[in-house]
Structure 1
Amino acid sequence: MLVALGLLMVATFMFLIITKRATPVVALILVPVAFGLFAGAGLGISDMITDGIKDLAPTAAMLFFAIIFFGIMIDVGLFDPVVRAVVRLVRDDPARLVVGTAVLAMVVSLDGDGSTTFIIVTSALLPLYLKLGVSPVVLTVVAGLANGTMNIVPWGGPTARAASALKISPSDVFVPMLPSLAVGLIIVLLFAYHLGVMERRRIGRIVIRERVLVGAGGDTVTTTGGDGPETTAITGGGDGSDADRPDARPRLFWVNAALTVVLLGLLGADILAIPVLFMIFAGLALVINFPKVSEQQAAITRHASSIVSVVAMVLAAAVLTGVFAGTGMVEAIAGWLTHILPSSMGPHLAVVTGLLSIPLTFLMSNDAFYFGVLPVLSETASQYGIEPAEMARASITGQTVHMQSPLVPAILLLVALAGVGLGDHHRKVLWRAAVVSVAMLVVGGLVGVIPV
């Protein structure tokens, strides 16, 4: 019963947001509440949701202050040189822009944090998408694919979780998967190029000025975002000088650059909790760039809409995760899967685990999958001579799909910053992500690091 309810709950949620019959926030709240009550949660559903909120509160705080920090860096012009450099490389070609998006997302994803990656990529490139008339959905798709594929780096989360759950070294999991990672990234680049060519054909080549500044003033125009909704872009007008941008702080460029580098370095060093880091550095960014209280209040207000939409979705997602865990649906689905697998599949459990990781890590958190499902499957697989490291390698191949899940706060941040509907993103990204994940699994089998 719980298995059926859990699967039906997720299916209902996905149907509502993809068909745009409900906003993600509404679906994330009302669908789990309805199914939780039907599952017999009663008044206990309040404690379940509260537990979910407690778990995701640090993430909400991190996103809140991360948006403020990077929003300020955009306002003061820190990323302007990056945008100008990309413009010189991209020129008027959407295909180059989209491929460049994939490359930038791959490089930035080396820090292992999806939220940071999406903030930087969106901050630097979204203005170019809008000025060229390229659909922002393409940005979210390519950035999501690149980051999801890179998410198997040892410090990214899933590899460490798989290694911890099976008591093995993360390097034993990751290093043999380098060929799979390389192929996955190549496929992402091919998808990016194809999407770019499609956009090039759709909008044609548009001549733009070489000098494009993030947030430059100008007239408001409306461009059609491909399959997505219409997006309002600010183009033209002004000469991109600091006089046109009252919030620009060219004299503080190196101070802001140093502040950002130190922040990213501390994020990688994992010395302090990420929410605490962003809170501290957001405060420093406000004081350094806007000494007056009125200016600080205005700087925060400018990004209020992004903050509200992202934090609302994270807290709404806490309802889904809380009900999922509190009602026992996660455990029920894990147990059901282990029981329905026929004994004839025993020698092929590594491949089965890789295939299961694609939908399961989309439907549940990495913690639930790697600490709840993987150990059970690995114990069964050991009876057929399959090593824990081999099971762990197979289990991380589904991460490209996992990163598109509404349960992942980073993807909610990405679509919010790009002004893209989650359903629009899913329609274009899910099948491509599944192709990348399956390809990584196949390559792992071909090179012998995942037994078939």
Structure 2
Amino acid sequence: MLPLYRRIGMNPMVMATLAMLSLSIISGMTPWGGPATRAISVLGLDPSDFFVPLLPTMIGGIACVIFLAFLMGRKERNRIGIVKLEPRHITKDSSQSYMAATLDSEQLKRPRLIYLNLFLVISVMVLIVLGTKHPSVLFLIGFVLALTINYPNVKMQKERIAEHSGNAITVVLLVFSAGVFAGILSGTKMVDAIAGSLVSIIPSSMGQLFPGIVALTSIPFTFVLSNDAYYFGMVPIFAEAASAYGIEPVEIARASIMGQPVHLMSPLVASTLLLVSMLKIDLGSFQRFAVKWAVITSLVITLLAIITGAITIL
């Protein structure tokens, strides 16, 4: 999209902001995304219990980002006006370079199986939402079926597994790390001590507001802290403190991800640094441009989570 933005003359900050907000909704709330994976692992939750009540919030968050894209687009339209794009001449060299770059990806595509693959994906997602089996079992079955159907050749199967194994290993190591860290905090009673101090600070009359407090404080906390520090260090403390008010840990886990739109502006996030470097924009300028949109998105999804019952404050 960047060449199109440049030809039209649009502000690349708009694309950076929308990319960041879109990623924060999808990656932040799905149980296979980084923040949710950490919260689920460190609190020992069932992914379906965490994710299914968040579906309305996720859909509302996507709608919010689309609406913000409309507002930004209309503002850019008023600034730029109507731009007529002239077709560019494609040289033989550029055409050959494009063909060479896309040859490998074309060989992996299976256009004849698009509807079968779509049916497989939808079926797995529906079964996860219905809670028929543990999500990991359903994902494994779906993966085996997809791999066998699309790439019946064993050599290609090995290549596809090798291509994506790095990401899978990272998630596995993350889950094991969460277990070790949570075990240290629990075994040494550090969580109990810190949670007790936190409970003593919060008035008992405000105890039922604790999920909402966690959701709102996640906005600044996740900005200044890495995901590992926040979810492995602070979320277990919040969950332990919330238990004193009869609040389930899963609600604290859901509340803790409401600040992800703001978190992704942080210089601690590698994907954000990659984004601004690819667009050749200054990180500070990007943060100043995006902060109001990120805060609005966080507040909107927090409100939606309260309205839909994903987190309760009464």
Q: What is the TM-score with the length of structure 1 in the denominator? A: 0.49
Residue of structure 2 equivalent to 1:392:
253
SS in 1 for 2:233: helix
Alpha-carbon contact 1:145-1:429 (below 8 Å) kept: no
| CA deviation vs aligned residue, 1:410-443 (integer Å, no higher than 9, x gap) | 0000011001111121112112111111111111
Tell me the CA shift for residue 257 of structure 1.
3.9
Tell me the CA shift for residue 184 of structure 1.
1.0
Tell me the CA shift for residue 254 of structure 1.
2.8
2:152 corresponds to 1:255: no
In structure 2, relative to structure 1, the CA distance for the partners of 1:271 and 1:373 (3 Å cut) is closer
Tell me the CA shift for residue 268 of structure 1.
7.8
Select the residue among 195, 200, 203 that pairs with 2:77.
200
Taking the aligned partners of 2:239 and 2:282, their CA distance within structure 1 comes to 38
* Aligned residue-pair number: 242
Tell me the CA shift for residue 196 of structure 1.
0.7
Taking the aligned partners of 2:279 and 2:253, their CA distance within structure 1 comes to 34
1:358-437 to structure 2, matched below 5 A, reads 358-437=219-298
Alpha-carbon contact 1:346-1:380 (below 8 Å) kept: no
1:200-219 to structure 2, matched below 5 A, reads 200-209=77-86, 211=87
1:282-293 to structure 2, matched below 5 A, reads none
| CA deviation vs aligned residue, 1:105-143 (integer Å, no higher than 9, x gap) | xxxxxxxxxxxxxxxxxxxx0000000001111110111
Select the residue among 429, 432, 446 that pairs with 2:307.
446
SS in 1 for 2:208: helix
Residue of structure 1 equivalent to 2:34:
157
1:104-115 to structure 2, matched below 5 A, reads none
| CA deviation vs aligned residue, 1:254-309 (integer Å, no higher than 9, x gap) | 324447997799438844559xxxxxxxxxxxxxxxxxxxxxxxxxxxxxxxxxxx
In structure 2, relative to structure 1, the CA distance for the partners of 1:136 and 1:268 (3 Å cut) is farther
1:267-286 to structure 2, matched below 5 A, reads 267=164, 270-271=167-168
Residue of structure 1 equivalent to 2:61:
184
Alpha-carbon contact 1:145-1:400 (below 8 Å) kept: yes
Taking the aligned partners of 2:67 and 2:165, their CA distance within structure 1 comes to 29
Residue of structure 2 equivalent to 1:145:
21
Tell me the CA shift for residue 363 of structure 1.
0.6
What CA RMSD, in Å, does the superposition of the two structures yield over aligned residues?
2.9
2:21 corresponds to 1:171: no
In structure 2, relative to structure 1, the CA distance for the partners of 1:164 and 1:251 (3 Å cut) is closer
Unaligned residue ranges in structure 2 (runs of 5+): 111-158, 172-190
SS in 2 for 1:397: coil
SS in 1 for 2:259: helix
Select the residue among 208, 212, 227 that pairs with 1:351.
212
Aligned-pair identity (%):
37
Taking the aligned partners of 2:290 and 2:98, their CA distance within structure 1 comes to 37
Tell me the CA shift for residue 246 of structure 1.
7.9
In structure 2, relative to structure 1, the CA distance for the partners of 1:269 and 1:436 (3 Å cut) is same
Taking the aligned partners of 2:257 and 2:286, their CA distance within structure 1 comes to 22
Taking the aligned partners of 1:422 and 1:260, their CA distance within structure 2 comes to 36
SS in 1 for 2:240: helix
In structure 2, relative to structure 1, the CA distance for the partners of 1:355 and 1:273 (3 Å cut) is closer
| CA deviation vs aligned residue, 1:161-188 (integer Å, no higher than 9, x gap) | 1111111112211111111111111111
In structure 2, relative to structure 1, the CA distance for the partners of 1:367 and 1:252 (3 Å cut) is closer
Taking the aligned partners of 2:300 and 2:165, their CA distance within structure 1 comes to 29
Taking the aligned partners of 1:378 and 1:175, their CA distance within structure 2 comes to 20
Unaligned residue ranges in structure 1 (runs of 5+): 1-124, 212-235, 275-330
Runs of 4+ in 1 over 3 A off after TM superposition: 256-274, 337-344
SS in 1 for 2:49: helix
Alpha-carbon contact 1:163-1:170 (below 8 Å) kept: yes
Taking the aligned partners of 2:33 and 2:234, their CA distance within structure 1 comes to 20
In structure 2, relative to structure 1, the CA distance for the partners of 1:270 and 1:176 (3 Å cut) is same
**Larger helix proportion of the pair:** 2
Taking the aligned partners of 1:251 and 1:369, their CA distance within structure 2 comes to 44
In structure 2, relative to structure 1, the CA distance for the partners of 1:146 and 1:240 (3 Å cut) is same
SS in 1 for 2:289: helix
Taking the aligned partners of 2:298 and 2:25, their CA distance within structure 1 comes to 8
Residue of structure 1 equivalent to 2:90:
240
Taking the aligned partners of 1:403 and 1:247, their CA distance within structure 2 comes to 38
